[in-house]
Structure 1
Amino acid sequence: MKNYLSLKAAKSQSCKVFKSQKLANYKSIFYFLFSIFYSLFSIAQEQDSTKVNQLDNVLVSAVRVTTKTPVSFSNLDKKDIKTRNLGQDIPILMNYLPSVVTTSDAGNGMGYTGIRVRGSDATRVNITINGIPYNDAESQGTFWVNMPDFASSVESLQLQRGVGTSTNGSGAFGASLNMLTDNYATKANGEISSSYGSFNSNKNTVKFSTGLLNDHFELAGRLSTIKSDGYVDRASSDLKSYFLQGTYVGKTTLIKALVFGGTEKTYQSWNGIDAVTLKENRRFNSAGMFTDEKGKNRFYDNETDNYNQDHYQLHWNESFTDKWSTNLAFHYTKGKGYYENYKEDAGMGDYGLTPVGTVTTTDLIRQKWLDNDFYGTTFSLKYKDEKLDVILGEGWNKYEGSHFGKVIWARYASQSELGDHYYNDFSTKVDGNIFLKVNYQLFKKLSLYGDLQYRTVQYKANSMETGLVDDSFSFLNPKAGLNFEINQKNTLYFSYAKANREPNRTDYEGGNVRPEKLNDFELGWRFNSDYFQLNTNFYYMGYKDQLVLTGELNDVGSPLRANSGDSYRAGIEIDATLKLSEKWFLQPNVTLSQNKNKDFYFTRDGVLQNLGETNIAFSPNIIAGNRLTFMPVKSLQLSLLSKFVGEQFMGNIDSELSKLDSYFVNDFNASFEFKTNKVFKSIMISALVNNIFNLKYESNGFFYTFDDDYSNPPAVKTMEGVGYYPQAGTNFLVGLTLKF
């Protein structure tokens, strides 16, 4: 959920003055960016070389890796995604990658979705779009619901597991995901796609490209709408998005300007359900429930999350020679929205209302707002020859977030006026980093990798929950590794990476929070032949003060974390691609791991106890996936996709009550694409049947570790404080894509 939570502060008047100044500053920024774009375009027209940069070698070259880098990673490109791109979010499309676990609040992969890698939650997965940070600066989370159907504008993505290589934005403590948006097209084209499925789910997308006009200019865009009622009751989504890019291609220059964004209205479904309700009514949603004055249970019809986010990016890529190239980018993101809910018997004093006689509580409807701006720049300089590959990169970003709350209706309104704020908070975060990456071919078969990053963070916030925060951090993150090519088919690698990471906004609510540190060791073997590819990777991630999920949620459904002292994650990842014949392909993967807190302390029955070694919350020891594909003819593809996730604890005290059962889910995907010589270049029909065996399972939940012995609860105890997020049974999506 979005980190809308803020608290009362006496900054209302100063914020108004600041906002007027801020608006003028943003206008200046836009004029400045426009003048830069115009100047770069003029320079580009004068270029004289014969080499044309490709976007996938430029926009993400500073943060991506290859098989010569000693890092564990997976790639997905547009063709891997297209047969299943029927409206579900990017995390769901990545579900079958190694070490990945996904979940959906609505239960059907639309609306709010989440991803964990090696047991690390989404706040610890670094996300970039064309090298620009996407994680929310304060919460460090990634809200895919703000970018509906973004998969339709993704050319490729790379998931690096572990610390990976240096990147822009928050540190990667479980993985980093970098996405490259659509490449330019040399010829004009268009695309119309629609899909429909269970729970009244539908997606409609229109794309176009002018192709290269005068061999230099391209304009391309996309409009999308996604709607779904959701598997969970009233967990509806109404999502709209757009994507527009202009590209100039010179002989040594590529300039790309992008504007993309989305708006979402999602009925809240982050409350989960208890064990009794799970058995009686899996689809029940308590969000918005209240008792009216006649004693009747009702549901507020606008218990919704509403948010709009717009992104602006400008990239200039220049190839000076065959060995030297640069990338300079500017970006700006504007986000604004609120969640609205009905509060029953709310304390009037909590909302700035004066009691009316003896009446001190009232039913009311509140909105909690977030109005934020995020802007900055990135730069990289690359040198590459036969033996040496060097990248110098830097990034500077600033976040400014205003948090405030409104009461839009109250049964006893007291002295309130329309538009009053019952709290006003403001926060800023400045993040800067510089890194140097070197890959040097020491000998014919042995290469050395080195990577050094220096990162600074300054975070200021004011609220009753976080207190007055004014924290600064300076992190030095070294990385090094060796890559040994035994022969043309076999490669061994080893790497070490050190990472540091600052707390997020909700971490400060717990008080006395500390930054976390990580030492990551990776040892891998890659085998590559015409019919068989195998990647095997051993990892050990040793943490100091790891901010692990406690299992608890705050009052807007955001997971809470706490420092756990010493802890580790260790395991083996194996993934393979096997060509059984010209028509049959097998792509299995498995992760076996141990994820432990060392000497974990917990207050039980009023006494602080050392529980010794315990399992880290939401970290299953087994994660496995498989894709079996049959292509009877070139245009027809049939795939069975399987995912197994072992049992996991939702807390850190190994309570049996906190266990999520293991689950094994299978999906079936079919697509048929045929070329035509008429109006359309191709027509593709696709279908996706999720959970074909109708398994009842839960992929997420919560657990409140009260001051009690929950490992051996007496018979009179209930499972209050334990909740689950049920996922949909058998459901389907079918789609039609017309390309012209």
Structure 2
Amino acid sequence: MDNRAYFRAVGLSVAALLASTALAGAQTLDLGAVDVAGSGGNNDTAVGSKAAPGTAAAIAPTQSSLYATEPQTIISDRYISDMLPPQSDMSAIVKMAPSVYTTSPNGPGASEAKIQMRGFVDGQYNITIDGVPFGDANDPTHHSTAYLPSGSLSQVIIDRGPGQASTQGYSSFGGSVNLFSRAFSDTAGGHVDTGWGSDNTQNYNLEAQSGLIKETGTKVLFNYDNTMTDGALQYAAAAHKNYMLKIDQPIGESWDMTLMSSVETGMYYGLAQITMAQAAKYGKSYAGLNANPSSADYFGFNHVHKTTDFEIMTLTGDAGLFQVDNKAYTYAYVNKDLEEKDQTTETTTSLYTKAQLAANPALANDVMGLAKENRFRAFGDILTLSRDVDAGIWSGTGRFGAWVEHVNNTRYLIQRDDTLGLAVPTTTYPAAYQYNILSKIDTFQPFVEYEWKPSDRWSLTPGYKHYDFSRDQFGNPNQTAGGKTQTVRTQAINAAYYADLPYFTARYRVLPELSAYFQYAQGIQAPTVNALYVADPQANKMQPQTTTNYQVGAVWKNDRITADADLYFIDFANYAQLNGSGNNAYYSNIGGVDYQGIEGEATGVVGAGFSLYTSGSLNSAKTKGTNLWVANAPDVTLGGGLLYDKDGAFGSFLTKYVGHRYAGSQVAGTDFNRLKPFNSTDLVVGYRFGNVVAHTSDIKISFGITNLFDHHTITDASSMLSGSTPTPASATYYWMSGRSYFGTLSVSF
């Protein structure tokens, strides 16, 4: 989409919003009826602290909704605050969900961690904050510690499917991980939390709420979160702070505006997977770093500084003809880091020319490295107009709107003399740069859908969405695929992709406690930006990766049991692969993958404060024709445990098992890169004392142990193969971090 089309789209969105506002009549929107899971008192949707105490919905680590139209997992505020280490990030929050696994070798919240879901890797599913999708500006991947920590979240909802036509995102076919910021309270108050744990971990969280200010109807929420840790790995300290401010303001009788702003700063060290030889020499907690300033592995030469911000203005209301929900937003990511070329070796090659070394021989002993900066800002708007239609058997709700977004991105990687702290001087630009890139991305996704309700039990929703994605990139020099040097260094590239996507969901309320659903949907993801990192991008024969999703499931919920199960089949087409090498490298689509499986989760109240929990999946992700597994797709996941909550005391004993999977795609004739299963068990006990101290509403204390049985199984590895030949010497690995302890003290007022 060119700039004119982009501004036309923005103009249309703004015009529609203003027109709807002008048409506002006497009708009043009942804002209390607008509900997300767990945000209101509706018994069908309330979870965690919003659900009735002692019910399955109140205590369940994961659960679905009777209103789900695709496989869904809701993770409540109670699970986040009571059953997890206080420094947890979003990857730690979702680990118990079916078909999901995550790993964090440096401990929860202490390093970037990726979420794997059904064999889909980061970038093949969406992550949203309060309904706004976000991602990196190269590929739509994510950084688990870059935006909102667990202390800033009220709940997480995982949708394992493309959703409906109104579901927005860069790559929705793999699903969505939806983060929801802390919720407003009608009463003034807040809390002060402190947490501590192994590896010198400290966490502090402060929240203050104004409650409902009767004179103006305003609500204000401020949340501050601060985490510091030495990390489970050697020389792997981390620290990050988050500041979040939310304001909710009614406008007249039928409109409401919510502002959210979050700012995050973080510092981490450049961890790396290590070889077996390095593990034998330094231990499994070695992360490619040391304390020797004469070494390229010196931790002072391998660190990352990140700053992010995320702002959303949500305007909802009754415009007479339509109900309006508009989200205008911006977010930014700035990453500055120092790194070395290869952390599997402790030496580097001088980057100076022979003439420079002859003029100053001492430079030959300097440590060589790289300095990187990645900086982008996104501006966007999501407009949804809806209208209830009273037409007898054809009654329902129509929705239409559009998502429009523009992203500016600059990133470079330059050679550096770490000893001197300077870029390597060169005679001509851009010889010192590995890459220096300016990129612009435009997204436009208009949609329309109709939720037909022929009876109180049925909901049938057909929909349509148009997908429009374009990327303009100028590299001087351009980045290269696989780190190879290419002859063509200066490139201006444009790539645009379009698609029309149909959607259909059906939900049937069989009983008050039971609902069933079916979903058919198509999804799409633009080709990887790596397709532009070749000598001749025009040689690429790339089409967007697409999926056709078929899913069926059922949800059962009452006070004593919450349970759901589903079957899925996903036809994945246009799987991308790099072909050739050097200046002859290009990308093409090589075929497809069949993803299929069965998933489920359940919590049952046993009595006397005890509940039982289980979740699990049987999964398959194999290439068409060859029937070989794709990378990072476990054949089974299984979770379960015992929960307790009564008379102030609470606790959980939960374990998660992740089955066999491949490091890199499976290769016929060898299973060398097949990784063994791993499991981790966590124990938490705590007590809520209530308002035993003046001017407090509750005092809560808890203690926990993660990885109770101290497993150190391999969780991640490089491909471990060259073709079909095992390469044990060069393969690299991460192991589970060992047993760790944590404690928390929370004072609410």
Q: Do the structures match in fold with TM over 0.5?
A: yes
**1:390-429 equivalences in 2 (<5 Å):** 390-406=398-414, 409=417, 414=425, 422=433, 423-429=435-441
**1:604-623 equivalences in 2 (<5 Å):** 612-623=626-637
Distance 1:705 1:461, change over 3 A: farther
Give 2:161's aligned residue. Answer: 162
Contact 2:682 2:704 in 1 (8 A): yes
Give 2:487's aligned residue. Answer: none
Partner SS, residue 194 of structure 1 = strand
Superposed displacement of residue 573, structure 1: 0.6
Distance 1:411 1:594, change over 3 A: closer
**1:384-463 equivalences in 2 (<5 Å):** 384=388, 387-406=395-414, 409=417, 414=425, 422=433, 423-443=435-455, 445-462=457-474, 463=478
One-letter amino acid of the counterpart of residue 229, structure 2: S
Distance 1:205 1:291, change over 3 A: closer
Partner SS, residue 486 of structure 1 = strand
**1:543-582 equivalences in 2 (<5 Å):** 543-547=572-576, 563-582=589-608
Superposed displacement of residue 80, structure 1: 2.5
Distance 1:720 1:537, change over 3 A: same
**CA distance, structure 1, for counterparts of residue 531 and residue 180 of structure 2:** 31
**CA distance, structure 2, for counterparts of residue 587 and residue 380 of structure 1:** 37
679, 704, 710: which one aligns with 1:664? 679
**1:306-385 equivalences in 2 (<5 Å):** 306-320=305-319, 324-342=322-340, 345-346=348-349, 348=351, 355-357=356-358, 363-384=367-388
Superposed displacement of residue 287, structure 1: 3.8
Partner SS, residue 79 of structure 1 = helix
Superposed displacement of residue 198, structure 1: 0.5
Partner SS, residue 533 of structure 2 = helix
Superposed displacement of residue 354, structure 1: 6.7
Contact 2:234 2:289 in 1 (8 A): no
Superposed displacement of residue 348, structure 1: 3.0
One-letter amino acid of the counterpart of residue 592, structure 1: L
Distance 1:51 1:165, change over 3 A: closer
CA displacement, residues 439-475 of structure 1 (integer Å, 9 cap, x when unaligned):
2123454432212111100012231426543110112
One-letter amino acid of the counterpart of residue 739, structure 1: S
711, 723, 734: which one aligns with 2:743? 734
**1:58-137 equivalences in 2 (<5 Å):** 67-83=66-82, 84=84, 86-137=86-137
One-letter amino acid of the counterpart of residue 152, structure 1: G
Give 2:61's aligned residue. Answer: none
Contact 2:613 2:640 in 1 (8 A): yes
Partner SS, residue 146 of structure 1 = coil
Greater percentage in strand: 1
**CA distance, structure 2, for counterparts of residue 537 and residue 499 of structure 1:** 19
**1:133-532 equivalences in 2 (<5 Å):** 133-147=133-147, 149=149, 151-166=150-165, 167-213=167-213, 214-250=215-251, 251-269=253-271, 271-278=272-279, 281-287=283-289, 292=294, 299-320=298-319, 324-342=322-340, 345-346=348-349, 348=351, 355-357=356-358, 363-384=367-388, 387-406=395-414, 409=417, 414=425, 422=433, 423-443=435-455, 445-462=457-474, 463-465=478-480, 468-509=492-533, 512=540, 513-532=542-561
**CA distance, structure 2, for counterparts of residue 191 and residue 439 of structure 1:** 41
Contact 2:389 2:398 in 1 (8 A): no
590, 606, 610: which one aligns with 1:584? 610
Distance 1:704 1:693, change over 3 A: closer
Contact 1:138 1:429 in 2 (8 A): no
Distance 1:446 1:314, change over 3 A: closer
**CA distance, structure 1, for counterparts of residue 683 and residue 110 of structure 2:** 18
One-letter amino acid of the counterpart of residue 378, structure 2: F
Give 2:709's aligned residue. Answer: 693
One-letter amino acid of the counterpart of residue 299, structure 1: Y
**CA distance, structure 1, for counterparts of residue 748 and residue 328 of structure 2:** 33
Identity of aligned residues (%): 16
Give 2:8's aligned residue. Answer: none
Superposed displacement of residue 663, structure 1: 1.2
Superposed displacement of residue 232, structure 1: 1.2
CA displacement, residues 162-212 of structure 1 (integer Å, 9 cap, x when unaligned):
323342230223221222222322221121111000011111111111222
Contact 1:108 1:727 in 2 (8 A): no
Contact 1:255 1:315 in 2 (8 A): yes
**1:1-40 equivalences in 2 (<5 Å):** none
**1:638-657 equivalences in 2 (<5 Å):** 638-654=651-667, 655-657=670-672
TM-score by length of 1: 0.82
Q: Does 1:637 align with 2:663?
A: no
**CA distance, structure 2, for counterparts of residue 186 and residue 247 of structure 1:** 11
Partner SS, residue 104 of structure 1 = coil
Distance 1:563 1:730, change over 3 A: farther
**CA distance, structure 1, for counterparts of residue 719 and residue 570 of structure 2:** 25
725, 728, 739: which one aligns with 2:734? 725
46, 51, 66: which one aligns with 2:30? 51
Contact 1:47 1:253 in 2 (8 A): no
TM-score by length of 2: 0.81
**CA distance, structure 1, for counterparts of residue 313 and residue 262 of structure 2:** 12
**More divergent stretch after superposition (421-430 vs 689-698):** 421-430
Contact 2:235 2:290 in 1 (8 A): no
Contact 1:140 1:504 in 2 (8 A): no
One-letter amino acid of the counterpart of residue 631, structure 2: A
Partner SS, residue 71 of structure 1 = coil
**More divergent stretch after superposition (718-727 vs 110-119):** 718-727
Contact 2:718 2:732 in 1 (8 A): yes
**CA distance, structure 2, for counterparts of residue 722 and residue 415 of structure 1:** 35
